[in-house]
Structure 1
Amino acid sequence: MAYGNLETLYRQVIMDHYKNPRNKGLKGDDSFYTVHIKKPTCGDDLTIQIKVEDGRITEIYQDGVGCSISMSSASVMSETVKGMKIEDVLKIIDNYVHMVKGEPFDENLDMGDAIVYQGVSQFPQRFKCATIAWNALSKAIEKYLNSPYHKDEE
C-alpha cells in the first residue's frame, strides 16, 4: 500500500474512534481501578477505569474531553488491551510510548490499531495527547498491583 493510502487509512481509524468511541462511559462501581488525568495546558481531561480478574483486564472504560488524538487514542487503547494479561498490557504500553516518541520499538508486538499513532512522532507537541490514556492506564494498573486484592491472587 502506498504511503499516502496508509496515511489516509490511519486518519480514518483515528476519526472513527474519535466520532464513535469504544468503551465510553464510567461505571459507579468500587471494584474498578479508576484514574483521572487532566492536562490544563491543552484541555485534555480523561478518566480510565479497569476491572482486573485473574491478572487480566476484563473490563475497561474511558470517558473525557479533548482533541481527536487524545480521545481516539483512549478508545483504541481500550479495545487493544481488553481481555489481556497485565504483563502483556505493560509491554504494549511501553512499546506504544517508544513508538510515538519516534524511538525504536518492537514492530512484531501486536498493538492492534494503536499502530496508527506512529506518525505522532513527527509532531512532538502531540505526544502528550497520544499518551494521556496510556499513562492513565499505567497508573490504574499500578493501583491494581499495589492493592491487597492483587496480593490475594498471587
Structure 2
Amino acid sequence: MGSVRDLYKRTILEHSRAPRNFRALTGEGILSAELRNVTCGDRIVLAVAVEDDVLRDIAFQGSGCAISMASASVMTEAVKGLSRTRVSDLHERFAALVRDGVESELGEPGELAVFRDVARFPVRVACATLAWDVLHVAMAL
C-alpha cells in the first residue's frame, strides 16, 4: 500500500489550493444543499442552476481536507453543462472509481481519474464523495 503522500497528486493539491467555482451562487431558481462529513469535519454548501434539465451553473463553498475541496472543485468543472441524467451517471462512475479504483467501461472520466488512488485509503472515500453527495441532494430538490 502506498503512502498518503502519494495520494496528494499535483492536480489534487492545485484544486485544493485554488478551487474552481468556489463562490456563492444566488438568484431565482437556484437549488442548494449542505452536507458535512462528521468523520473529519468537511463541510460543503453547493448551489446549482438547472435550466431545461441541464446544469447551467454550479458553485460551492465550505471547508475541509485537500481531498474534499479538490473533489468539489474538479466536480464542478466536470458537471457544468451536463444533463441531470449524465450528472447522475458520472456520480455513479466517480463513486465506483474512488470506492474500487476501477474506471467504468463508459470511458475515462478525465481529471476525475486522479481520484482513483482514494480507493487505497478507505477513510478518504467519504471525503472524495461528499461534494457528489451534496450535488445529488441539491438536484433532487
Give TM-score, length-normalised by structure 2. Answer: 0.89
Measured against aligned partners, the alpha-carbon deviations of 1:63-95 in whole angstroms (never above 9, x if no partner) come to 110000000000000000001111111100001
Question: Distance in 2 between the 1:73 and 1:121 partners?
Answer: 14
Provide closer, same or farther for how the CA distance between residues 103 and 11 of structure 1 changes in structure 2, counting only shifts above 3 A: closer
| Paired position in structure 1 for 2:15 | 17
Question: Distance in 1 between the 2:80 and 2:108 partners?
Answer: 14
Shift of 1:104: 4.9
Report the structure, 1 or 2, having the larger helix content: 1
| Paired position in structure 1 for 2:41 | 43
C-alpha contact 1:70 1:131 (8 A) present in aligned 2: yes
Aligned residue pair count? 136
2:24 pairs with one of 12, 23, 26: 26
| Paired position in structure 2 for 1:89 | 87
**Which blocks of at least 5 consecutive residues in structure 1 are unaligned?**
1-6, 144-154
Shift of 1:38: 1.4
| Paired position in structure 2 for 1:66 | 64
Moved more, 104-113 or 77-86: 104-113
Give TM-score, length-normalised by structure 1. Answer: 0.82
Provide closer, same or farther for how the CA distance between residues 32 and 110 of structure 1 changes in structure 2, counting only shifts above 3 A: farther
Which structure's relative contact order is higher, taking Cα pairs within 8 Å and 6+ residues apart?
A: 2
**Which blocks of at least 5 consecutive residues in structure 2 are unaligned?**
1-5
Question: Distance in 1 between the 2:69 and 2:43 partners?
Answer: 9
Aligned ranges for residues 111-130 of structure 1 at < 5 Å?
A: 111-130=109-128
Provide closer, same or farther for how the CA distance between residues 82 and 138 of structure 1 changes in structure 2, counting only shifts above 3 A: same
C-alpha contact 1:92 1:109 (8 A) present in aligned 2: no
C-alpha contact 1:15 1:72 (8 A) present in aligned 2: yes
| Paired position in structure 2 for 1:100 | 98
Q: Which has the larger radius of gyration?
A: 1
3-state DSSP class of the match of 1:72? helix
3-state DSSP class of the match of 2:9? helix
Moved more, 105-114 or 27-36: 105-114
Sequence identity, in percent?
Answer: 33
Question: Distance in 2 between the 1:58 and 1:110 partners?
Answer: 23
